[in-house]
Amino acid sequence: MILSVRSVSRLPKFSLSRGWASAASTNYVNIMEVGPRDGLQNEKKAIPPATKIELINKLANAGLTRIEAGSFVSPKWIPQMAGTVEVITQVEHLPGVRYPVLVPNVKGLENLLSVLSEHSTSSSPPPTDEVAVFIAATDAFSKANTNCTIVESLERTNQVVRLALEKGLRVRGYLSVVIACPYSGPVDYRKVRDLTKELLDMGCYEVSLGDTTGVGNPHSISEMLNTVISTNSVGKLAGHFHDTYGMGVANVMTALAAGIRTIDSSVGGLGGCPYSPGATGNVATEDVLYALKGSPYTASGDLNKIANIGMWISNEVGRENSSRVGKALHARKLRQENLREKENQKAKL
């Protein structure tokens, strides 16, 4: 049952820091690692919380500082997100690392606030201090995803954002299907522009523009961004690109050229979308980091460590690693190990 505003307002208020480390330069790229949530939510194999915790800890220790840790959505709808409470309360919580979670409605937010309340007297950091909300750019996708229209979704989301801000939580917004909808076709970029403004006006500090179906290419991404940026600050936008047609990295570079400085990516190219048939995973974190090498842009994260994590989690969930860079680095690592083994054998003769 959806809670009333009055019932949630009686929950304890948290004193969570809302500070944000500014980028070292205007060419610093913030990586939002979405593998543990958006990446795993479409996997068929059941993934125990212990594996998710290990994944998040590995990513944080590899230098990533924004890691989406889970979702307070009903396991009935997204079974892979079961165990999010266990995950966010048991990860290492390294200094300077944020662990946002997705909340689809007030009920999800209430569940999170209950968890935070239980840990409010602890000397350790809170399980999280940031939530993400989401809407879609078409009624068809909104109805498939949340069983409501865009207007109804905005009303629900506004309630969640207002209550989250009241409790001292940062709020990030997702806007899905900004290029094309799997049910209704091409999207009007002016609608994307206006809905982005709606989310920012609610109080979202950032809106992630999602090419959920992965059909975008540099031309369409550029056209969409030009329209959105015409009335919204580019500094409050992020790019979220699926790699269905192999355009993920190209679209990332297009977004950076347009002034975007936050990119969502997923280790090993994990991902998909339960409500977007045929959509493959998010652009791989390894591929993004490799693309930035030698460019004017910089980002946090140890490429080799993250590539190893991509191979590990792909094996854990029983899927092929979708990162081209990850597979190339793994092959090079195996060649080097074979050469060392041969040299050792020669030395023993």
Helices (H) and strands (E) in the chain, counts: 12, 10
β-pairing verdict for 206-211 and 70-71: unpaired
Compute how many other C-beta atoms are within 10 angstroms of the C-beta atom of residue 105. Answer: 19
3-state helix, strand, coil in the chain (%, to 5): 45, 15, 40
Q: 181 an active-site residue?
A: no
Distance CA 34, CA 101 (A): 10
158-162-163 Cα angle (round to 5): 120
- Provide Rg for the chain, Cα atoms: 20
- Who contacts 139 (Cβ-Cβ below 8 Å, separation ≥6)? 149, 150, 184
Sheet strands (E) in the chain = 30-33, 70-71, 101-102, 130-136, 170-176, 180-181, 185-186, 206-211, 237-241, 262-265
Distance CA 122, CA 259 (A): 40
Amino acid identity, position 278: G
CB 58 within 8 A of CB 95: no
Catalytic residue, chosen from 148, 181, 204, 273, is 273
CA distances 130 to 17, 94, 164, 237, 282, Å, are 10, 15, 9, 17, 21
Distance CA 243, CA 323 (A): 10
Q: Which two three-digit tokens encode residue 114?
A: 């209950």
CB 29 within 8 A of CB 256: yes
Burial of 143 by CB count in 10 Å (0-12 exposed, 13-18 middle, 19+ buried)?
A: middle
**Which of the residues are catalytic?**
273
